[in-house]
Chains A and B, each alone.
Chain A
Amino acid sequence: MDIITFKNFSWKYSGYRGWTLHDINLSIAKGEFIGIIGKIGSGRTTFCSSMLGLIPHFYPGIMEGEIIIDGVNVEKSSISKLSSIVGLAFQSPSNQLTGAGTTIEEELAFGLQNLGVPYEEMHKRVSEMLKIIGLEKFRKRSPFELSGGQQQKVAIASVLIMNPKILVLDEPTSQLDPLGTEQVFDLVKKLSKKGITIIMSTNNIDYLSKFADRIILFDNEVVKVDTPKKILTDIELLKKHSLTHSVITDVSMKLKKYGLYHKDLIIDFDELKNVIKGMIK
């Protein structure tokens, strides 16, 4: 069953020439993990914002076509209605953190309080979430005393705690340290397994290749939708849209050049490892 549908959707911000997104047609099934890639200015953030209704309800501009989220027509609905279905984690935590709470636990509880969740339940969910993001120790600290990466985790957690059906993440790991990045991807994968639909915009293709069911390549339009392997090993396609391939794929290209390997280019770490092991046995 499709939970997200875009039909001939186009968007132009008022005051800008040209469409930021043009003629988008997409169907995303419930429970899918979709990776979004594209260069800066390719419309990825706009795409992410559209599912929560920030477009057209918050930003002024011209919209064509329609977006249906879990049966709800975005244009005819509202941000508050959509936010019960879609959780959007922004790239920069300072756009997310409300500042309503003086401590991290209050920040996390903010959305739940607004929904009138009972205290016991709220306490339980906050504790769970703090454990998941590994910040239990900091529960009484102010979010603004945390480092950028820690803030990012709190920002993601403040969205997750609302139990959205669809979780949209816009470059969620760009400020995180390597293990923090891995933790966020692991967490998102776990949520994906629970049946939450994931839309994740990131240029961290090493992780996307491992986790995403499909990848959408944007360049102000949908250039291609396919499996991670198909898109991420299409060197010419990536280059044409100012993106690069993974180090893993790079090694497999070199192996081909050296005449040591003749099959498809590789994107998976373990697959490459095994191919190389076979070469030095």
Chain B
Amino acid sequence: MSIVQAKDLYFEYSKGVSVLKNVNLSINKGEVVAIIGQNGSGKTTLVKHFNGLLRPTKGEVLINDEPSVKKTVAELSHICGYVFQNPDDQIFNSVVEEEVAFGPSNMGMKGIELKLRVDESLRTVGLYEKKKKHPLDLDLNQKKLVAIASIVAMNPELIILDEPTTGQDHAGLIMVEALINTLRKTHTVIIISHDMNLVARVSDRIIMMCSGEVIFDGLPKVAFTKNALMKKTYLKPPIITELAQSIKGFRRDILTVDEFMDELMLLRKKRK
């Protein structure tokens, strides 16, 4: 069952310049989908249609089978939660728990119910101990988690993470990856990312964009063997895939170090 569908979707910021061209896709409930593509390929523009921040110039977007244009941004944000690329674009309260409470209290939640929801969201992202802190006293890794928690608190069906690992160090990257694996149990997740190593490890499906068009939609294993397509939109496969592809005899669709080692052992066995 699909949560988001785009049908013949076109979008222009200014007249005559299409940022999205004839996009057709369907995101199924429970999937973790990665949208990848070069800077300026339309990834963020596309997902901003899912929570109504942008409206189609032509074509339509269906959210839970209903046209998005019939719903307000507030209604759509209950279904599709969008976490901004830069947490500073999103965070404005002076206490972490107030920041996280903002969304659900706007939805009319209050009292103990609100408190429980906020605590649960902070636990999900691993920031419960920091709930009384000022968001700006947190480091960049933690600010990102606050931004994610405040969207999780609204309990949307779909969570969109726009470049969740940008500006994060190694510790932040591990936290974000673990969080995606937590969220996938209860939510549909879309990530926009340039980090192909992350994308290879967490996504069920990849949508590749180039100049506003979808040029590939399918399994990560297949996506990362399409080197010509990837190059067209300024991507490179994950380094482990690249390594496997550079050695004669190796499968070309390896995504993890473990798979790589298995393949190596297999090739050594065959040799004997």
Contacts and interface: CB of A to CB of B under 8 A. Distances in A.
7 contacts: A92-B86, A147-B40, A177-B39, A251-B243, A258-B261, A277-B248, A279-B268
Interface in B157-174: 163, 166-172
A1 interface: no
Interface residues of A, number: 44
Nearest to B45: A147
Contacts of B166: 174-175
For the complex of A and B, list the 8 residue pairs with the smallest distance between their C-beta atoms, beginning with the closest. Answer: A149-B39, A147-B40, A179-B234, A178-B236, A147-B39, A244-B170, A177-B234, A177-B38
Interface of A: 38-41, 91-92, 145-150, 152, 171, 174-182, 203, 206, 242-244, 246-248, 250-251, 254, 258, 260, 269, 272-273, 276-277, 279-281
B239 A203 contact: no
Contacts of A243: 169-170
Interface string B104-119: 0000000000000000
Interface in B202-249: 231, 233-236, 238-240, 242-243, 246-249
Interface in B105-155: 139-141
Contacts of B15: none
Interface string B245-263: 0111100000001001100
A242 B170 contact: yes
A6 B265 CA distance: 50
Contacts of B261: 251, 254, 258
Interface of B: 13, 37-41, 85-86, 139-141, 163, 166-172, 194, 196-197, 231, 233-236, 238-240, 242-243, 246-249, 257, 260-261, 264-265, 267-268, 271
A171 B165 CA distance: 13
Contact of B38 (A149, A250, A273): A149
A141 to B, nearest CB: 10
B109 to A, nearest CB: 33
Nearest to B271: A280
A182 B242 CA distance: 14
Given A148-B85, A250-B257, A179 B169 contact: no
A107 B39 CA distance: 20
A148 to B, nearest CB: 6
A42 to B, nearest CB: 8
A169 to B, nearest CB: 15
Given A251-B257, A254-B261, 6 more contacts: A39-B169, A92-B86, A149-B39, A243-B169, A269-B242, A280-B271
Contacts of B243: 247-248, 251, 269, 272-273, 276
A273 B169 contact: no
Contacts of B169: 38-40, 203, 242-243
Nearest to B234: A179
B177 to A, nearest CB: 12
In this complex, which of A41, A148, A181 has the most chain B Cβ atoms within 10 angstroms of its Cβ? A148
Contacts of B271: 280-281
Given A40-B141, A150-B40, A269-B239, A242 B231 contact: no
A136 to B, nearest CB: 15
B139 A247 contact: no
A91 B38 contact: no
Given A40-B141, A247-B197, A276-B247, A182 B236 contact: yes
A183 B40 CA distance: 16
A139 B248 CA distance: 43
